[in-house]
Amino acid sequence: MPDLVDEVDEEIRQERAALLARRFGGLFAALAMFVLAAVGGWQGWQWYENRNAVAVAEAFLAATRDAAAEGADSSAVAARMAALGAGAPTGYRILSQLRAAALTAEAGDGAAALAMWERVSADASADPLYRELATLLWGLHVLAEGATRAAEVQARLAPLAAAGPWRASARELVALAALSAGNTAEARRGLTELARDDGVPQGVRDRAQRLLSGIDG
């Protein structure tokens, strides 16, 4: 399972550039019809917003570096990430919450981390990509705690396993939930499908094959 966490974290980093590209171009076009004084006021506001976005980006990257440093205090950096998200633009707010949840889990407070992923998953203002990712991470860490909520994980991840950008990872977790609950036949079926599916990442296929080997002895 740590490999899956690393894979998802890498996908988070790859999406960061897309979030940075979001602008308020439509609003600027409308305001361009106003008199010069109004345009000047808008430009001043844009300057302020851009300066704020740059400050948030720098703070986010600094916290990310600190989290990766040897001997880092995950709990302290998680608190920084959570505080950063409170006043950040939507993209960085969601990323900060996701990182804060991961660091909180790393610090050993699984219940708090799960609650944070739940909040992102339920946040209607967040991009569906990140809401689904929060659900995926929630499911991964619920399974890491044991089999007692395996059926809940399967139910929550079933829509993600059916379609969408996280389909392969969700299918893997659904199979792991079945295995965790003792439903060996169901787990074997799901893992076999993953191992034979050329449309999923090679890493997922390889893990599915290793799990199948373990099941079959």
Average pLDDT over residues 71-94: 82
pLDDT at 133 over 60: yes
Q: Output the pLDDT for position 20.
A: 35
Q: How far apart are CA 42 and CA 27, in angstroms?
A: 10
Pick the more confident residue, 164 or 147.
164
In which band, very low, low, confident or very high, does the pLDDT at 83 lie, cut at 50, 70 and 90? Answer: confident
Average pLDDT over residues 98-115: 90
Please, what sign has the CA dihedral across residues 119, 122, 127, 131?
Answer: positive
Kindly give the interhelix angle for 110-121 and 90-106, rounded to the nearest 10 degrees.
Answer: 160
In which band, very low, low, confident or very high, does the pLDDT at 190 lie, cut at 50, 70 and 90? Answer: very high
pTM of the model: 0.71
Would 87 be classed as within a structural domain? Answer: yes
Distances in whole angstroms, Cα of residue 202 to Cα of each of 75, 161, 193, 194: 34, 17, 13, 10
- Tell me if 82 sits within 8 A of 97, measured CB to CB: yes
Would 217 be classed as within a structural domain? Answer: no
Would 190 be classed as within a structural domain? Answer: no
Residue 52 structural domain: 1-113
Quote the tokens at residue 151: 């059926």
Would 102 be classed as within a structural domain? Answer: yes
Q: Output the pLDDT for position 50.
A: 59
Would 211 be classed as within a structural domain? Answer: no
Would 210 be classed as within a structural domain? Answer: no
- The total domain count for the chain is 1
Average pLDDT over residues 70-78: 86
Mean pLDDT of the chain: 77
Q: How far apart are CA 31 and CA 132, in angstroms?
A: 35
Would 186 be classed as within a structural domain? Answer: no
Would 212 be classed as within a structural domain? Answer: no
Helices (H), ranges, 107-127: 110-121
Q: Output the pLDDT for position 58.
A: 80
